[in-house]
Amino acid sequence: MSGAPFVVVIGPPGVGKSTVARGLADRLGRPLLDSDTIVEEREGRSISDIFVESGEEHFRAAEQEAVLDALEQDGVVLALGGGAPMIPAVTEALSRHRVLFLDVGIADAAKRIGFDKSRPLLSVNPRQSWIRTMETRRPTYESLATHRVDTAGRDVDAVVAEAMTLLEDA
């Protein structure tokens, strides 16, 4: 019998998915998995290098495999890359899990990630790319979310505390 994560953390670039997931895992005493890290370990290279050397299609296939494998892990806190929920097989699989959507506006996202070149989908006209990406992804994030936390103007501890309350009440 396969397991299931305790919670899956989703949201746009710059929202702090990995950081919040790490905080939740620490507070809950649960293992942490991050789909981006899994892909990088399996591929033996950074996500930026995967995009440049093999293209987005290759990356998304590797990401799908990593996420679907991670969704079989019992009791973990799982952070997903921002685009993972947009992959049809992942969207379908996530509909059967507890999903925490971390939301953020562009002003806070810009402060957090600085729109650097290590984020392949944001490397050209980063602010406009982020806005366009979020407009496309928001409906999916919202439809998958069993819980939502707005991270705007808040530190990690405050976001983790609110997420803990939501998860404990569920």
Does residue 128 surpass a pLDDT of 70? Answer: yes
What is the per-residue pLDDT across 31-58, written as a single tens digit (0 to 9) for each?
Answer: 999 999 999 999 999 998 998 999 999 9
Q: In this prediction, what percent of the chain has a pLDDT beyond 70?
A: 84
Q: Quick check: 36 and 83 in contact, CB under 8 A?
A: no
Other C-beta atoms closer than 10 Å to the C-beta of 86 total 16
For 1-16, letters b (16+ CB in 10 Å) and e give eeebbbbbbbbbbbbb
Q: Which range is least confidently modeled, 60-64, 76-80, 125-129? A: 125-129
Which two tokens mark 126? 């980063």
pLDDT: which is higher, 117 or 45: 45
Q: In this prediction, what percent of the chain has a pLDDT beyond 90?
A: 71
Q: Residue 161 burial by CB count (10 A; 0-12/13-18/19+): exposed, middle or buried?
A: middle
The pLDDT, as a whole number, for residue 112 is: 52
The pLDDT, as a whole number, for residue 114 is: 52
The pLDDT, as a whole number, for residue 1 is: 34
